[in-house]
Amino acid sequence: MFDIWVSTRASTTSPWNPPVLVSGINSLEDDRVPALSPDGSILYFDSTRAGGSGGFDLYSTTRVSVNRSSTTDFDGDGRTDIAVYRNGIWYILQSSNGQVAAQQFGASSDVPIAGANVQ
C-alpha cells in the first residue's frame, strides 16, 4: 500500500523533521505520486480508491490557509473564476478583467473527473 507523507523544516538551512502521514488524504487503497501546484495551495495525487473511473485516478485537495486564495481563483484577485475544459484546453473566465485565458493541460484525449476536496 502506498501513502502520502510530508516532512517540514523551519528554514532551508534547518534539518528536516521526521515524516508524517498527510492527515485526511490517505485512503485504504494506494494514494501516490503527490505534486504541488506552483503556489503550493493544491496537492494533486493519484489513487485507486473507490469511486474513481478505475486504475489510478487523479485527485486534488486544497491547503486550508487564511493566507491563500480559493483554488478556483486563477487570476489571484480573491474572487472565484469560471473554468471550462474542452478538447484538452482549460478556458478560464478571469474575474479580474473579464478576459478568457486558455491553458492546455494534459492530452486532448484525457477526461477530467471530479476530485476529492479533502481538508
* pLDDT, tens digit, 9 for 90 and up, residues 77-89: 877 777 776 666 7
Q: Is the pLDDT of residue 46 over 80?
A: yes
Q: What is the pLDDT of residue 3?
A: 92
Residue 118 lies in a domain: no
- Outline where DSSP puts E strands in 5-88: 5-6, 20-21, 31-36, 42-47, 57-62, 82-86
**If pLDDT is split at 50, 70 and 90, which confidence band does 63 have?**
low
Residue 55 lies in a domain: yes
- Domain extent at residue 84: 5-104
**How many structural domains are present in the chain?**
1
Phi, psi of 37 (to 5 degrees): -65, 160
Residue 109 lies in a domain: no
Q: Which residues pair with 35 in a beta bridge?
A: 44
